[in-house]
Structure 1
Amino acid sequence: MDNKNPSLCGIKVLVVDDNEDTLALTKLMLGLCGAEVIASPTAAEGLEQVQMQRLDIIVSDVSMPYMDGYQFIRAVRNLPAHKGRDIPALAFTAFHGPEYSARAFDAGFQAHLSKPAPLEMLVETVAGMISLPRNFLN
């Protein structure tokens, strides 16, 4: 791990992305900073992981087939609290601009980051989000 990047040791991250290369790269980037990363190639699988794992943060693409990232995060926000409803979530997507950020926030994400993003930016965003109080949605 590069010393200028925050450590993500002890953090459990769910990454949801239908692009195999992006999923592998994001998993590698976060893993290099110490995060335990669970990779899900579909939103449906990601939703199952949210309910089975104790996660610290979700990093999700928004453009996916069958269930997109907006539908995915809405489904997460409709879960009971003990099943993951309040997990902070980052929309990590190729779509950039204020309209996409607004749509991500409206759906239930707490942050929006356009890809490709430098490792430092991704790690700093994740590190900043996990310091949010757990009851921020209440």
Structure 2
Amino acid sequence: MDNKNPALSGIKVLVVDDNEDTLALTTLMLSLCGAQVIASPTAAQGLEQVQMQRLDIIISDISMPRMDGYQFIRAVRDLPIDKGKQTPALALTAFNSPEYRSKAFDAGFQAHLSKPASLEVLVETIAGMISLPDDLPN
């Protein structure tokens, strides 16, 4: 990755994870790649952020207390379009069996990665899910 032109420059990412260390590490990794990261320790706070921000992508854990990642993404998909309904979403989770992968897609995620995911795989997955600003017509 070229540090002069970070891979995720200009991308606004919401990361939702109840594990403080994972949230901090994911935020740091994505920030170093040029992304503007909004970190949320709960799905409820994440849902508020989705409605307040114009996000390029959501990255969410699945196993969280009170509202899990499946409930969270279903709530996002129930929002009006102008409040984030169609924001691309990536499940980043320790649940990695085909059953959990299928459940994530059924809930409304477009991609599923198992923890721990390498930075390279994470960046490639994000880039594949969104239109990077360089791809926009002038």
TM-score w.r.t. the length of structure 2 is: 0.91
Whichever residue aligns with residue 3 of structure 1, its letter is: D
Distance in structure 2 (CA, Å) of the matches to 1:85 and 1:95: 24
Q: Does the 8 Å contact 1:12/1:55 carry over to 2?
A: yes
Mind listing any 5+ residue stretches in structure 2 that lack a counterpart? Answer: 133-138
Distance in structure 2 (CA, Å) of the matches to 1:74 and 1:57: 15
Q: Which residue of 1 aligns with 2:2?
A: 3
Distance in structure 2 (CA, Å) of the matches to 1:41 and 1:33: 21
Deviations 1:10-66 (A, max 9, x none): 000000000000000000111110000000000000000000000000000000000
Q: Please give the root-mean-square deviation of Cα atoms over the aligned residues, in Å.
A: 1.6
Q: Does the 8 Å contact 2:7/2:33 carry over to 1?
A: yes
Instruction: Show the 5 A alignment for 1:8-87.
Output: 8-87=8-87
Distance in structure 2 (CA, Å) of the matches to 1:62 and 1:54: 22
Q: Does the 8 Å contact 1:6/1:123 carry over to 2?
A: no
Distance in structure 2 (CA, Å) of the matches to 1:73 and 1:95: 16
Q: Which residue of 2 aligns with 1:136?
A: none
Q: Indicate the percent of aligned positions where both proteins have the same amino acid.
A: 79
Whichever residue aligns with residue 65 of structure 1, its letter is: P
TM-score w.r.t. the length of structure 1 is: 0.91
Distance in structure 2 (CA, Å) of the matches to 1:109 and 1:78: 13
Mind listing any 5+ residue stretches in structure 1 that lack a counterpart? Answer: 133-138
Aligned length: 131
Return the offset for 1:131: 2.8
Partner of 1:90: helix, strand, or coil? strand
Q: Does the 8 Å contact 2:6/2:34 carry over to 1?
A: no
Distance in structure 2 (CA, Å) of the matches to 1:111 and 1:131: 15
Deviations 1:72-102 (A, max 9, x none): 0000000000000000000000110211110
Deviations 1:99-136 (A, max 9, x none): 1110000000000000001110011111111139xxxx
